[in-house]
Amino acid sequence: MSSENPSFTDFNLQQRQKQRQKWEDAMISPPFGGFNQASESGYLLLSNPNNQTKILDHQEDGKSTGTLGSNKVQDWDPRAMLSNLSFLEEKIHHLQDLVHLFVGHKGSGLGGQDQLITQQQQFLITADLTSIIVQLISTTGSLLPSVKHTLSADIPNGQLGGHPFPPMAGMNCSPQPQNGGGSKVSDQSSKMDVAGDCGAGQSHFIEEHETKEEEDADEGEYLPPGSYDILQLEKEEILAPHSHFCTICGKGFKRDANLRMHMRGHGDEYKTPAALAKPTKESSSDPVVIKRYSCPFSGCKRNKDHKKFQPLKSILCVKNHYKRTHCDKSYTCSRCHTKKFSVMADLKTHEKHCGKDKWLCSCGTTFSRKDKLFGHIALFQGHTPAIPVEETRGPAVLSDKMDGKEASNKGRKHKFQLWLSCCRKWG
Amino acid sequence: MSTQSTPILSALTEDLLIRVNEKLVQDSDRKIWRLICKEFHRVDSITRKTLRVLHVEFLLTLLKNYTNLHTLDLSVCPCIEDGTITLLLHRVDHSMWARNLKFLNLSRANGLKFSGLEMLVGACKGLESVDVSYCCGFGDREAAAISGCGGLKELRMDKCLGVSDVGLAKIVVGCGRLERLSLKWCMEISYLGVELLCKKCLELKFLDVSYLKVTSDWLRSIAALSKLEDLAMVGCPLVNDVGLQFLENGCPLLQKIDVSRCDCVSSSGLIALIRGHNGLLQIDAGYAISEFSGNFVECMQELKNLNAIIIDGARVSDTIFQTISSNCKSLIEIGLSKCTGVTNMGIMQLVSGCVNLKTINLACCRSITDAAISAIADSCRNLLRLKLESCNMVTEKSLGHLGLHCALLEELDLTDCFGVNDRGLERLSRCSRLLCLKLGLCTNISDTGLFYIASKCSQLHELDLYRCMGIGDDGLAALSSGCKKLRKLNLSYCFEVTDKGMKSLGYLDELSDLELRALDKITGAGLAALVTRCKRLAYLDLKRCERVDDTGFWALAYYSRNLRQINLSYCSITDMALCMLMGNLTRLQDVDLVQLTNVTVQGFDLALRACCVRIKKVKLVAALGSLISSEVLGILHARGCRIRWD
C-alpha cells in the first residue's frame, strides 16, 4: 500500500518538468521575439505587457495543474483583495515618481549618452509596469470563483488526455477504502466535468494563490481544511486482517503482491507480465485529489468532527493509530512480561532491545547505551555506574519478573525519592 | 657498652634526638642509628615516616613499631594479597599504622583484589595518594574499592588494563578532589570516561593520557579543566592540530605539555597552543614534529619562561637555537637526541644565551665535535647531566673541558663514543661528583682509565662498562676500593674479567644491580665469592656464563636472599640447583629460564612449583608449554604471574 505523500511530490515534480519545457518553448516562440524587438526599439510600452501575459499563460498551464484540488474551494477574501489593491496603488505611485525623475533628467542629458540612458529608463519602466499588470490580473482572478474551477478541470483534461490510465486507475488502496471514499471522488470528478465548459483562456488568473498553496503542500504537515478529501473507514474495515481480496474466490490477502501471485491460479490471463506487474508509480501519482483519513472513533483528535482535527496520511497510519489508541494491548513481550503492545510490529521492535539495558546506574535506572548512562551520571550528584556481577544480576532478573505494575510503581517511588533528595540537596 | 653510655644519652633529650635523626638521609645511616641502643631505636620508630618493605613476613612487626607512617611502599613486596591485608588490619592494636597513612604504593601488587583494597581503603581514612600502576588484575571492581577514598588527591593507574570507563566513573564520582591522575596505558578508557572526568574533577592539575585513543573530542573536554597544569599525552596517534587548537583557549594554567610521539601533531598545532599559553614551562615534542616552520621559531620568542624543551628526532636549523638562546633565558633542559642538523655553530649559539642549562641530551648528534662540548663546558657551569651517546667525534679534549669547568656534573653518557680513551677518563675524573657514568662500547679504555675514575669519583652510583673489552680484574679491584657506593654495574661482555675480579666486586657493599653476561672466565667459585658478600644484590644477569657450576648457584640460593630478578638463560645449572634457587630465594619475582640444557622437564616443574606463589614474571622456552603440568601453569596464572614464551 503506497502512502499518499510521495506520489504527490512525484506529481509536482512531473508538473514542474513540464512547466520548464513550456518555458523553453516560449523562448523560441515568435511572441517572445516580438517582445524583445519592441523593447529594444523603444516601441509602445503597452504592447510589452501583452506579450508578458502570454508567457505567463504558458507558465500557468504548467503550474496550475499542480494544485488542482486545492483551489476549488478557496473563498473570496475581501481583506486580501484590499491589501492587494493598496499594494498596486503604491506601485503605481512609485512608477509615477520614477517617470517624473526621468522627465527632469531628459533636459540636462548629453546627446551621446542620451540614447543609452533612455534605453535603461525604458527597461526600468517596462519591468515595473509588467509586475503591476501581473498583480492586477491575479487579483482579478481571485474574484471569479468559477474561473478557478474551470482551470482545475480544464487543464488536466487537455494535457493528460493522452495518458493511458484514467485518474483513479492507479489508486493502490484496498478495495474497502475505495468503496468508502468512492462517492466523494466521483462527486469531484463530476464537478470537473461541469467546469470543463469554461474557456481555457482564463486559466492564468490564479498565479499568486497557487504558489502559496504549493508551499503549503510542500510543508506537508498542514493542509488547509477542505483542500483535501477525507476518507473514513469503519472499525471493522480497519481491523480486518486482509485488505486485498480475490475477485473470483474471495480469498483475502494482506499484500497486493500475494493476491497477484494467487490470481495466477485462476487462469492464464492472470499470468501475463502486465497482470503480474506491480502497479507503477506513474499510475499512483495520477490521482487528482489529496486524500487524508479520519479515525472512526468519535472524540478522537484524528476524527474529522474534532475541533482541532489532524488527518491521518495513509491507511496504514489509520490502522496503526486505531490499534494503538483505541484497542487493547494484546501482545505482551515474552522477555520482560511487562511491556504490552497492540501492534505486532511495535512488539517486535521492542523485543529487539528488551533486556539489553545492560548499562545500570547505582540509582537503579537502566540504559541501553553507555553514553546515555554517562550523561545521566554527569547530571546527578553521587550517581555511579553499577558494575555488573553475578550477585547483582540475580535480583535484577527477579525484579524483571515481577508484576509489571508493581515494578513500575517501585521505579516511580524510587525516582520520586531521588528527586526529593535532590531537592533537599539543592535547598 | 650501654651502661657506659647511659649518662651521655640522658643528657640528650628525646626532642634533640628526633632533630638529629631527621638529619639522616641515607638508609644505611639510619640503620646504624637504629642499632645503637633501644632509645635510639624508639626515636627512629617515632620519627620514621616512610616504609618500603621487601619481606612480607616482617610487615606485621614493622607496622606495629612504626605508627606514624605517612608513606607505605609495598611495590617490591612479592606476595601482598587480600589475606595479608586482613591479617594486618584485623589485629585491632595493629591498625594504628593505617590512621596517619597518606601515601600508599601498591604498584605491581597483582595479588590484591577488590576486597583487600576495600578493607585497606576503609582503614586508611586519610589517604591522599595511591599508586596501583602495573596491577594486571586491577579492574572496575578494584577501582570501585579505591573510590572509597573521598580525599584522594593523586592516583596512578598506569597499565591497569582491566579498568574501563565504568571504573573511571566510579573513581571520578568517589574522589572528586583528585588533583593528579595517570591513565597511561589504560587501554579500555574511552572518550565517555574522560568526558565525565573533565566534568566532575575540576581540581585536576596533572593528567596523563599517554598511549590512549585521544581524539580532538577528548581535548575539547580536557580544555575545560581550568586548573590543569601538566598534560601528558605521549604516543597518541589520533591527536592532531585541531585538538591542540582546543587547548589554545582552554586550561589557562597549563605549564607542561608532552606530545611526544604524537604523529599527527605538526608545528602549527603547537603554535596555536603556545599562542594561548605564553607561560609554558615545559614542552616535550620528541618524535612528534619532524620539521619546525619559521612561524614556530617566531612563536617561540613568546616563551620567556620556558624551562625545558625536548624536540628529539626533529630536523633543526641554527635559527631555532638562536631564537631559543636570545629568548628562553631560563632554559634548564634541552633534548636534541637524534636531531638532524645540529651543528657546532648551533650549540655554541644556544649555550651563549642559555647559561643555566643543567641537562643537555645530544645523543646521536653525530656532527658534534669537541668545539661544541667545550663551548657547553665554558658556558654552562651548572651542568648536571650530559648525554653524548654515539657522538663519535668527541675526544679526550671534550672530557678535559668538562673536567675543568663542570664540577657539578653528575651524569655523563658516553656510550659508543670510541674517541674516549684513558687520558680522557683521567681528565674527566676531576668531576668528583659524578654519580652515573656510561662507557658502554668505549673499546679504547682500559684498567688504567678506570683506575683514575675509581680513585677520584667516590660518589659513583652507576657504571656501565658494557663490551669494554679492555677492562679486566685490576680495574675492578680499583673500582671496589674507590667507588664504595656503586649500586649498578654492567660488566657484560668484558671477557677479561675472571673470578679474581668477582672476588674484588664482593667488597662493594651497596651493589644491587649486576650484569655479567657472557663472562666465560668466571666459575662457580667466583660467583660464590661475590654473593657471600654482596647481600643487597637484587638484580643479577648471568646469561651465557657457561662455566658457572652448581657450587656458585648453591651459594646464590643460600646467600642472596634479597634477589628479585635473575637471568639464568644458557647457564649450566642443574635440576637440583634450580629447585634450590627457586625455593630458597623468597624475594624472587622475575626469572629468565631459557635454554637450560641441564634441566629436565621435571626439574622445571618442581622449580616452578616451589616458587609459583610469589613469582610475577617468568620466561621459558615455548616448547616447555605443553610439557609442564597444567596444574602449575594454572597456579601461576591465578597468581597473576605472566609467562613469556621464548
The string of DSSP codes covering B123-137 is H-TT--EEE-TT-TT
- Please tell me if residue A382 touches chain B, with a CB cutoff of 8 Å: yes
Confidence at residue A130, expressed as pLDDT on a 0 to 100 scale = 83
Whether B165 and A370 lie within 8 Å, measured CB to CB: yes
- Minimal CA–CA distance to B508: which of B540, B539, B476? B476
Under 8 Å CB pairs connecting chains A and B tally to: 35
Whether A377 and B165 lie within 8 Å, measured CB to CB: no
Confidence at residue A106, expressed as pLDDT on a 0 to 100 scale = 60
In order, the DSSP letters of B182-203 are E-TT-TT--HHHHHHHHHH-TT
- Please tell me if residue A120 touches chain B, with a CB cutoff of 8 Å: no
Q: Which range, of A20-24, A302-306, B179-183, averages the lowest pLDDT?
A: A20-24
Amino acid B84 reads T
- Please tell me if residue A423 touches chain B, with a CB cutoff of 8 Å: no
What are residue A246's phi and psi, to 5 degrees? -75, 130
Confidence at residue A144, expressed as pLDDT on a 0 to 100 scale = 59
- Please tell me if residue A387 touches chain B, with a CB cutoff of 8 Å: yes
| Closest residue to B199, CB basis, from A378, A382, A385 | A378
Residue B141 with chain A: CB contacts under 8 Å: 387, 389
- B604's grid cell: 622445571
- A213's grid cell: 498553496
**B interface test, pick of A362, A370, A390 with most B CB neighbours within 10 Å:** A370
Confidence at residue A113, expressed as pLDDT on a 0 to 100 scale = 61
Residue A382 with chain B: CB contacts under 8 Å: 173
DSSP, res B210: T
| Helix (H/G/I), strand (E/B), else coil: B566 | strand
- B142's grid cell: 578494584
Q: If you average pLDDT over every residue of chain B, what do you get?
A: 91
Contact predicate B460/B483, CB 8 Å:
yes
Residue range B104-114: mean pLDDT, rounded: 88
Please name every residue paired with B539 in a beta bridge, in sequence order, or none if there are none. B513, B565
Whether A382 and B169 lie within 8 Å, measured CB to CB: no
Residue B170 with chain A: CB contacts under 8 Å: 384-385, 387
Taken in order of first residue, the domains within chain B and their CATH numbers are 48-204 (3.80.10.10), 209-306 (no CATH)
Tell me the per-residue pLDDT of B608-637, one tens digit each, with 9 for 90 and over: 999 888 888 999 999 998 999 999 999 888
Residue B140 with chain A: CB contacts under 8 Å: 387
| Helix (H/G/I), strand (E/B), else coil: B333 | strand
Residues 154-173 of chain B with CB under 8 A from chain A are 165-167, 169-170, 173
pLDDT band at B57 (very low <50, low <70, confident <90, very high): confident
Whether B173 and A370 lie within 8 Å, measured CB to CB: no
Between residues A7 and A355, the one the model is more confident about: A355
**A interface test, pick of B114, B147, B175, B192 with most A CB neighbours within 10 Å:** B192
Contacts of B237 (CB under 8 A, 6+ apart): B262, B263, B264
Residue A370 with chain B: CB contacts under 8 Å: 165, 192
Confidence at residue A260, expressed as pLDDT on a 0 to 100 scale = 86
d(CA A245, CA A253): 6
Tell me the per-residue pLDDT of A112-159, one tens digit each, with 9 for 90 and over: 566 777 777 787 788 888 888 877 777 776 665 544 444 444 444 434
Predicted ipTM of the assembly: 0.83
3-state secondary structure A177-228: HHHHHHHHHHHHHHHHHHHCCCCHHHHHHHHHHHHHHHHHHHHCCCCCCCCC
Between residues B115 and A197, the one the model is more confident about: B115
Residue range B47-55: mean pLDDT, rounded: 86
pLDDT band at B30 (very low <50, low <70, confident <90, very high): confident
Whether A371 and B192 lie within 8 Å, measured CB to CB: yes
Q: What is the pTM of this model?
A: 0.66
- Please tell me if residue A374 touches chain B, with a CB cutoff of 8 Å: yes
What are residue A359's phi and psi, to 5 degrees? -90, 110
